[in-house]
């Protein structure tokens, strides 16, 4: 059977429920792009998966709508209590369409490790722009495209530190990891850094923040070879007039 996000949803939810330093770090980096207090804010979490980001947004007081095209992910998200002062609702939807979300109805769109899964970035940014209010903002993380390019791997030459080996950075498009323990066995869409940034500008977004965070202490403890490389690219962009 070929893996998809729906077929690995049980595995993914289990991974996050037992505690994944990398996914918790990603959540914290993404939320670091937003205000600490989100009471009264409406947030769409695009590609919410099992809800790790949506729950954290609700804990800050936001009214959150989480969407994901995987019905099984949405089942997991609904089963996990949100908690906090805010609310969360979930729907099966495609981030390239956002058919369940009204125009100009949200103040923020968050997308944690999901825009690198949408097959059509232009369609997704068109949909995001449509649902944001005039002052609305998009905050997203993606695996850092320079270091998480297709089939990037690790190597160690005797007595030297482990190093990242990257090829195929310019090979944009769908690829699937052959690591049976990795999330990207479900496949993902590789795009260069310039493709992401120029797409944002082309779709009428103004860049507010671009960060390349160092691994957290927890990530560094779990995966010491990641020291010195940012696992994610984090971007915050405002809907321009």
Ligand X SMILES: C[S@@+](CC[C@H](N)C(=O)[O-])C[C@H]1O[C@@H](n2cnc3c(N)ncnc32)[C@H](O)[C@@H]1O
Which spans of this chain sit near ligand X (rule: CB under 6 A)?
5, 23, 26, 46-49, 52-53, 68-70, 73, 94-96, 112-114, 117-118, 183
At closest approach, how far in Å is the CB of 49 from ligand X?
3
Indicate the residue among 163 and 176 with the shorter CB distance to ligand X: 176
At closest approach, how far in Å is the CB of 23 from ligand X?
5
Buried b or exposed e, range 167-204, using 16+ CB within 10 angstroms:
eebeeeeebebeeeeebbbbbbbbbeeeebbebbeebe
At closest approach, how far in Å is the CB of 81 from ligand X?
17
Residue 202's Cα: distance from chain center in Å?
A: 21
The residue nearest ligand X at its CB is: 49
Indicate the residue among 123 and 220 with the shorter CB distance to ligand X: 123
At closest approach, how far in Å is the CB of 27 from ligand X?
6
Please answer whether residues 180 and 8 qualify as being in contact, where contact means their C-beta atoms are separated by less than 8 angstroms: no
Please answer whether residues 73 and 50 qualify as being in contact, where contact means their C-beta atoms are separated by less than 8 angstroms: yes
Indicate the residue among 113 and 237 with the shorter CB distance to ligand X: 113
Sequence-distant (≥ 6) Cβ neighbours of residue 161 within 8 angstroms: 225
At closest approach, how far in Å is the CB of 58 from ligand X?
14
Indicate the residue among 47 and 86 with the shorter CB distance to ligand X: 47
At closest approach, how far in Å is the CB of 190 from ligand X?
14
Using DSSP bridges, classify how beta strands 163-165 and 153-155 pair: parallel, antiparallel or unpaired: antiparallel
Indicate the residue among 67 and 237 with the shorter CB distance to ligand X: 67
Indicate the residue among 81 and 240 with the shorter CB distance to ligand X: 81
């Amino acid at each position: 059977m070929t893996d998809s996000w729906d077929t690995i949803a049980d595995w993914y939810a289990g991974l996050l429920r037992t505690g994944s330093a990398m996914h918790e770090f990603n959540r914290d980096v993404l939320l670091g792009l937003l205000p600490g207090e989100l009471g009264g804010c409406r947030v769409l979490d695009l590609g919410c998966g099992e809800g790790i980001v949506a729950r954290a947004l609700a804990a800050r007081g936001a009214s959150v709508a989480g969407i994901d095209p995987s019905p099984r992910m949405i089942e997991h998200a609904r089963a996990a209590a949100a908690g906090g002062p805010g609310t969360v609702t979930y729907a099966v939807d495609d981030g390239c369409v956002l058919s369940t979300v009204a125009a100009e109805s949200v103040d923020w769109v968050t997308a944690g490790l999901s825009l690198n899964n949408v097959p059509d970035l232009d369609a997704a940014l068109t949909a995001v722009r449509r649902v944001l209010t005039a002052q609305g903002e998009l905050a997203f993380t993606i695996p850092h495209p320079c270091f998480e390019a297709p089939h990037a791997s690790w190597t160690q030459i005797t007595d030297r530190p482990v190093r990242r080996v990257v090829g195929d950075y310019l090979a944009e498009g769908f690829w699937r990891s052959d690591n049976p323990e990795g999330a990207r066995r479900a496949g993902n869409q590789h795009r260069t850094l310039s493709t992401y940034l120029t797409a944002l500008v082309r779709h009428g977004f103004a860049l507010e923040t671009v960060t390349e965070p160092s691994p957290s202490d927890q990530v560094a403890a779990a995966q010491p070879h990641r020291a010195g490389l940012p696992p994610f690219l984090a971007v915050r962009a405002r809907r321009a007039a």
